[in-house]
Chain A
C-alpha cells in the first residue's frame, strides 16, 4: 500500500514537472518576439552557444565522417558497391548522426554552460536582485539565452553534416580509392531535399528542447553550490533522453 502511494506521488510529481516545463516554454515563446528585436543581446548568446561550440562540433563531425567512411567502405566493399559510400554517408549524417550527435554535444557544451550560469545567478541572488529592481529576469536573461541556443543549433548541425561528408570523402575517395565522381553523383542522385528537411526539422526541435531544458534547470536550480551542480547534471541527462525520444518520433513521422 505504501509502495502504491509512493508511485502515485512520484507520478503526480513528474506530471507537475512536465506541466511546469511546458508553461515555462509558453512563457519564453510569448516573450520571444520582443526579445528578438534586441539584436546585440541575441548575438552575444549566439556567440556563446554557437561560435564557442564550433571547434568541438567540427572536430567531432570530421571524426564521425571518417569512421563512417571507413566502416561503410568495409561493409559495401563486400558487395562490390563502394560507390554507394557517398549515399550512405550523406543520408546517415544529414538525417540522423548530424542532428543527434550535434544535439548531444550541444547539451554537453552549451547546455551545461547555460544551466550553470543561470544556476549561479540564482545562487548568488542576481535573479532576485533583478526582480527587486522590477526587471523581469526571464525577459532580460533567460529568453535571449534560449533564443541563442535555438538559432545556433540548426546551424551547428548543418556544419557537422558538411564536415562529416568531407571526412567520409577524405577516407573513401582519397585513401580507399572510391571513384570521386561516383561518390558525389550517387549521393546527388539519392539524397533528396526531403532528407535535408528532415535533418533540419530534427535539429530545430533538438535546439528548442536542449535550450529549454538548460534554461529551465538553471533558472529553477536550488540556490546552493550543490544545487547548481545537480542542475547541470540533470540538464545533460534529461537532454540526452529527450533528444533520442524526439529523434524516434520525428523519424517515424517522416517515414
Chain B
C-alpha cells in the first residue's frame, strides 16, 4: 500500500519544487518586476527621442516595412529636453539601416498596443550600436485629436472665423497646436 520512501520523497519534492517555481514564475515573469532569464541573440542598441510615446510599452516591436527587426527595451525620460528616450534592441541581421532613417510610433489596430515603425532614409552610412535616430514622430494621441476636432468645430461654427478659415490653414494649425500641448 505504502510507496517506498524514495518514490515518496521524490514525488513530494518534485511537486513542492514545481509549485514554488510556478509561484516564482507568476511573481517575476507576469508582472512588471520582470527578470529576463534567457540570453539575447546578437543585437545592437539604438535610441530615439520622442515628444510623446503614448502608451508604448517595453517589449513592443520595432519594425520596418512590417518586418519585425527589434524590440523596445527601455523607456526613460530626458530631464533636459523633456523628451522620452526609447532604447531599441535591434537584431544584428538588420545592421544596414541608413543614419537618416526616421522612427514613428504607430498603433496596432484601433485599440491595440503601440509599436515603432522605421522608415529608411537615403544616407550611405549605417546606424551602429548606441546611435541615435534623429528624426522621430510622436505617438498619435486620440484624446488630443478629438480635442482638436472639437475645437475646430467650435471655430468654424462661429461667424467671425467662418469667413476666413480655409481648410488648409486649419490643417496646418492642427499639428502645431498638438505639438504645443504635448
The interface of chain A, by Cβ under 8 A from chain B, is 43-44, 46-47, 50-52, 54, 79-84, 90, 94, 152, 154-156, 158-159, 161-162, 165, 179, 181-182, 184-189, 191-193, 195-196, 199-200
Contact = CB atoms under 8 A, between A and B. Distances in A.
Interface of B: 3, 8-9, 11-12, 14-16, 18-20, 22-23, 25-27, 29-34, 57-61, 68, 71, 108-113, 115
A71 to B, nearest CB: 18
A196 B31 contact: yes
Given A161-B26, A185-B59, 19 more contacts: A43-B8, A44-B8, A46-B16, A79-B111, A80-B108, A80-B109, A81-B110, A90-B30, A154-B23, A155-B15, A184-B29, A185-B60, A188-B58, A189-B32, A191-B30, A192-B31, A196-B26, A196-B27, A199-B26
Contacts of A83: 108, 112-113
A193 B23 contact: no
Nearest to B33: A193
A154 B30 CA distance: 17
9 contacts: A52-B11, A81-B111, A94-B26, A161-B22, A162-B22, A188-B34, A191-B30, A191-B31, A196-B31
B43 to A, nearest CB: 14
A47 B57 contact: no
A54 B32 contact: no
Decide if the interface of chain A is mainly helix, strand, loop or mixed: helix
Nearest to A158: B22
Given A154-B19, A155-B20, A182 B108 contact: yes
A173 B20 CA distance: 26
Contacts of A43: 8-9, 12
Decide if the interface of chain B is mainly helix, strand, loop or mixed: mixed
B25 A162 contact: yes
A89 B14 CA distance: 26
A53 B166 CA distance: 73
B28 to A, nearest CB: 10
Given A184-B59, A196-B30, A50 B110 contact: no
Contacts of A179: 61, 68, 108
Nearest to A184: B59
Given A80-B108, A80-B110, A81-B111, A51 B31 contact: no
A200 B12 CA distance: 20
A186 B68 CA distance: 17
B18, B26, B33, B115 pick with most chain A CB within 10 angstroms: B26
B61 A159 contact: no
Contacts of A82: 109, 112
A185 B27 contact: no
A64 to B, nearest CB: 15
B9 A152 contact: no
A51 B15 contact: yes
B25 A185 contact: no
B18 A159 contact: yes
A182 B19 contact: no
Contacts of A196: 26-27, 30-31
Contacts of A90: 30
